[in-house]
A and B are shown apart, each in its own frame.
Chain A
Amino acid sequence: MESAIESSAQKGVIGSRVGRLTDGYEKVTGVARYGADIEHANCLAGMVLRSEHPHARLRSIDTRRAEALPGVKAVITAADAPQVLHGFTVHDQTIIARERVRYVGEPVAAVAAVDKATASEALRLIRVEYEPLPAVFTPHDALRSDAPLLHPNFAAYESKVPLNRYGNVCCHAKITNGEVARGFDRSAVIIENTFKTPHVHFGYIEPHAVSAAVDGRGFLTVWTSTQAPFVARAALSHTLKLPMHQVRVIGTAIGGGFGGKVELLDEPLAALLAIKARRAVRIEMSMLEDFHVAQARHASEITLKAGISSDGMLQAFEGTVIMDTGAYAGFGPHTTSQAMVLLGSPYRVPHLRFEGFAVLTNKLNCGALRAPGGPQAALACESTIDMLAEKIGMDPFEVRLKNAKRSGDTTPTGCELRAVALEQTLRAAAERFDWRRAVQRPSNGKLRGKGMACGIWGGSGYGAGATVRVNEDGTATVFTGAVETGAGSTIVATQIVAEELGLGVEDVHVVCGDTESTPFDMGAIGSRTTVSTGQALRQAAVDAKRKILQEAAEQLETRLDDLELRGRQVLVKGVPSRAVPLREITTTLTMKHGGPVMGLGACVMELPGFDAATYESHTLPSKPWFTFGTQMVEVEVDPASGDVEIIRFVAAHDVGRAINPVGIEGQIHGAVTLALGQAFSEQLVFQQGRLMNPNFLDYRMPTALETPHIETIIIEAADEESAYGVKGVGEPPVPPVIPAIANAIYNATGARILELPLSPERVWLALQKVAR
């Protein structure tokens, strides 16, 4: 189904529908090489021994029997690793447990052996003596004054951002705008609710897999299915104390990342084993292991008090955000900070005060799952809007429209919003969905209802470089550090370069994700690739184009301004007869200089200004770009069982400029479906710090049978700061999904559910309460 594109932007290569041009053939034939598919001569099988305890002191580790087992080539423990701390914001963890384990699954030792069976046997022969320590499993327990501490002195760790930290709190953030007391005084209706969401797994189908090899000089190469090879290289260099020129990271094909393949997991262990064994080592996690040690979406508890005047204007928000971040700070300070910003960003709220706590518990570390903090904040914010609307007797669409942020407004931290299209997405969704139409009441005893939610998302910036080499024959080869996660970044790269150089998409080849042969790029995180890498690619292509046109201007004895590149030719404007094939110019240029025609590009999206007086201990006061969307859903609820079926789903999202609509639709479909899983069935269930459902039988992701049609509407409100006006789309469709469904269930049944997942049992229980 093709999307409606609401813009009259001119169409060239940019904006045309392109299928899986770059990576499709290899992926449909089984040729593409993922993390576990990389071949090495004499490769050893690596395996990791992981903690069975949620919190314990490591009294001793005896590896002698494992080392003596025939076929075992290396065994490592913390004693083999440099004494270095690392972490996303706070340097609070080691690559392998040293003295203490803080969650079930934390690496304790690793082995490399001739085959998996031998490695597995070796793990069984390692004797670890644990001294169990008191543990904390919920933020509430962790926040008690007498709670056992996960880290005896957390505040002493190095942090990249000044954070207010104490006890088991790794970040206590605050945001204040205006005076909430005054806002509540002006409110006709004030409500307060607490919303809870569980831990959620990334759900990629490829478990983590890495291999490592060292050469005779000890130079290290690591092949890993990472979203961010340069982040991995920096982290490996830091944790292994190796200079960067001795570390090469090659990003393999990735079987899904969604934020779960950014930070180091087994990469440094594979490297240490390879260094010790002097042979290539491959570590393939089982899905069982992956569930235990890969990061998760933060579980949250958000309390939001909100006031609205009788004419439908929001007056005040006051809220507390608690994120359960697991054993190490990880992405916790960011997720907490982000959720606080998102809570107060879609709508104009003159007075607000938020406090946020990222809290350490003896569970797996939490990371940046596609839109970290987004669904948690949106559930609270968008449910609250609907509840307020009902209390003052106004349509929730009208309340949203009245309070929607516009261009020039700011986020709660004072960051200015450009090219805001929230209103456009609201109107476009309402028109397609026919929001005013009354929902049909089915005759089968089921209940139907409609719901809506909006969302804001701020993307990441960071650095991106790109190189474009125009070959002698006029074709182009592009080098970028941004890996192809499947989101289609290489297709977009092809389109951008083809557009600028007047080529067809089939004339461009993209080389990506190798720290040795491609320029720096921060990686496929924060919906940034099309925006940041796209900008760098455009610059690089324009740079190459300038060199080509300069040469052509000399040859043709014309002014540079009179030349253009189109259809693999250099054209003189207005004089078609003087066209020269591009290959003639590029051949001449290459021969003349003895080197390739290279264009260089680089980009760091500038961070808009923000107001430091509005916040404390907050890691994300500013983001380089924001975008908005609106989703509307119709559901049918079976009151007897609590089953919820989606009848219709409309998603309108502003992408600034649609470079490849096929890819954008795919991103919206995927993001919505990922959130549908969290809405209805996905949660990691822990008992005393132990994961009870580490498999895809009891961790239920949507299948083709549960997934609805998703009607996409692409809005193009160009951002003048980015190349072609683009905004990212990977994460933005995630946050509104869950509240839209919760609002629709309420509309259908009168049951307001504040906790996820909206499983049949939870819906049924809520309906029992309504009935009473």
Chain B
Amino acid sequence: MSQGTSLRPARRLARLTVNRETQEVLVAPSESLLETLRDGLRLTGTKRGCDTGDCGACTVLVDGAPVVSCLALSLNLEGRSITTVEGLAQNGRLTPLQQAFIDSGAVQCGFCTPGMLMSATALLAEERSPSEAAIRDAIAGNLCRCTGYIKIVEAIQAAAHQGAPNASLVS
């Protein structure tokens, strides 16, 4: 592999659907979805933690599936539907999962919370009443240093018990 080129290939317009809104965004060819969301669209709810796919803080949904946005190339996602934490609550109304995170004390510093919510939202969209093991597996890619995960698992269980749909993932 060669040392990265110092030539900067031109940015180009990419058509991305983010939180149900389709827009044209100027994107550098080597740009990650995380960079496009944070720097390009100023959607800073998605967090940059490790930038190597190991912490999960940048997790977003692509066509409903959780993906680490730091390792996804933006141009590879043209035409796909992306949901970030900003797209969960609609008209100021929190999803049952978001509300459960607040009520259970599943949030501490909150930096892992957006990614954690996206992983859990995808899980609850598929399984109405997941086992604790399934919950822990679903959030295993989201590191949290504050909570020991206990109240996070409880919040996901609480949201599952409410049975209400947690979000429309795909526009």
Contacts and interface: CB of A to CB of B under 8 A. Distances in A.
A26 B109 CA distance: 11
A581 B50 CA distance: 53
- Bin the interface of chain B by size: 35 or more
B147 A666 contact: yes
A666 B109 contact: no
Given A204-B111, A284-B48, A485-B109, A30 B85 contact: yes
B42 A666 contact: no
A443 interface: no
Contacts of A704: 135-137, 139-140, 142, 144, 149, 152-153
Contacts of B137: 704-705
Given A1-B150, A666-B151, A696-B54, A28 B101 contact: yes
A204 B88 contact: no
A253 interface: yes
A44 to B, nearest CB: 13
A607 to B, nearest CB: 30
Contact of B49 (A30, A206, A258): A206
B144 A669 contact: no
Interface of A: prevailing SS: loop
Interface in A664-678: 665-666, 669-670, 672-674
Contact of B145 (A253, A256, A284): A256
A253 B88 CA distance: 21
A30 B6 CA distance: 34
Given A205-B50, A256-B109, 20 more contacts: A20-B102, A25-B94, A26-B110, A27-B107, A28-B98, A29-B86, A29-B94, A29-B98, A36-B44, A121-B6, A205-B112, A206-B109, A207-B48, A255-B110, A256-B145, A662-B104, A666-B108, A695-B52, A696-B50, A704-B136
A392 interface: no
5 contacts: A23-B110, A29-B89, A202-B145, A203-B145, A486-B109
B104 to A, nearest CB: 6
Interface string A464-491: 0000000000000000000001111000
Contact of A665 (B45, B101, B105, B136): B105
- Bin the interface of chain A by size: 35 or more
B117 interface: yes
A206 B107 contact: no
Nearest to B42: A39
Contacts of A78: none
Interface string B113-146: 1100100000000000000000111011111111
A19 B147 CA distance: 13
A687 interface: no
Interface in B34-63: 38, 42-52, 54-55, 57
A678 to B, nearest CB: 12
B146 A27 contact: no
A570 interface: no
Contacts of A626: none
A695 B147 contact: no
A581 B108 CA distance: 35
A710 interface: yes
B140 A30 contact: no
A19 B102 contact: yes
Contacts of B117: 28
Interface string A13-54: 000000111011111111111101101000000000000000
B106 to A, nearest CB: 8
